[in-house]
Amino acid sequence: MIIMADVTDGVTVLRILTPRLDASVAPDMRADLLGRIDSGVQSLVLDLSVVTFMDSSALGALIAAVKRMGPVGSIAIAGSKAAVLTLFTLTRMDKVFPMFPTVPDAVAKLVV
Amino acid sequence: MKRDLGDLGRVAVGINDIAVAALEEDGAAAVDLAVVEALTNAILHGQAESGALIDIEVADTADALVIEIFDTAPPMPLFLLEQAGAQKLDIDVSDLDSIPESGRGLSLIVLSMDHVSFHNEGPRTRMRMVRNKLR
């Protein structure tokens, strides 16, 4: 699981550099996200522009993160490819996670 | 394949190479998702200590791509397959705590493929998944 982190205008942007997000990486992804939230991150953008595949296990990691964050924070998704968008649509998670075409679009929305 | 999540990506990419050649882009992506969900279920719910391999057969026919997964895991209750589908993925967006982290795999398989069946065949099980070329 390879993640690069950056903070832009108070929003933490995580660039996921692992192209296939499946059950082999979901536990690490979950632990990473929960660790950041427990450390105080409240605005998070996940840049999935490199991700070509995502399954329900990885989606579960994101759900754990948004539940841990609760109503005080936000997690947005940026740069999803078609296969990833389909997963979010089929599972209705596009109603839970705001989806944006680019990181700047997502950051602009999350900046207070 | 070995009953090992670390082997999942290699196997799935190999099957996806066949799917990309046989189907349109959306179809190949759907098969990729269904295969990974099915293999993940087999690995996680199977008997890891048995060391038994999971066998996979892929057939590219004139009409469809057919994937069959053979396993020695305990049989899955058939009602789980009958209940799977879009209705199982409904969520209450206003109540985050009610949204489960897991349990979507079988419904995603059903929604991604044109036909899914599960067979208990003596000491082993067979999951058959079909994605038609013309939809």
Show the DSSP H helices in A70-97 as ranges: 82-90
Q: Does the ipTM surpass 0.90?
A: yes
Model pLDDT, residue B47: 67
- pLDDT tops 80 at residue B135: no
For B31-54, the pLDDT digits (tens) are 999 999 999 999 988 766 667 889
Residue with tokens 């979950």: A30
Pairing of strands A20-21, A3-8: unpaired
Residue of B nearest to A63 (CA): B101
Order of strands, sheet of A43-47, starting from the edge strand that comes earlier in the sequence: A3-8, A11-16, A43-47, A74-78, A99-100
Any CB–CB contact under 8 A between A89 and chain B?
A: no
- Residue A87 touches chain B, beta carbons under 8 Å: yes
**Best mutation site among A1, A18, A24 for testing chain B: the one with the most B CBs within 10 Å?**
A24
**Is A112 a residue whose pLDDT tops 70?**
no
Mean pLDDT of B103-119: 95
Direct distance between the N- and C-terminal alpha carbons of chain A, in angstroms, rounded to an integer: 30
Whether residue A76 contacts residue A12, with contact meaning beta carbons closer than 8 Å, is answered with no
With DSSP H G I counted as helix, E B as strand and the rest as coil, what are the percentages for chain A, rounded to 5?
Answer: 45, 25, 30
Is it the case that residue A94 has pLDDT exceeding 70? yes
Is A60 in the B-facing interface, judged by CB distances under 8 Å? yes
pLDDT tens per residue across span A28-80: 999 999 999 999 999 999 999 999 999 999 999 999 999 999 887 899 999 99
Tell me the whole-structure pTM to 2 decimals: 0.93
The B-side interface with A (CB below 8 A) comprises 5-6, 8-9, 12-13, 25-26, 29-30, 32-33, 36-37, 40, 43-44, 86, 89-91, 93, 96-97, 99-102, 104-105, 108, 111
pLDDT-derived band of residue B17, with 50, 70 and 90 as boundaries? very high
Task: Give residue A111's pLDDT.
Answer: 84
Residue A85 to residue A72: CA distance in whole angstroms? 25
Give the residue among A70, A29, A23 at the shortest CA–CA distance from A46.
A29
* Mean per-residue pLDDT, B87-95: 89
Q: Which of A5, A32, A7 is nearest to A21 (CA)?
A: A32
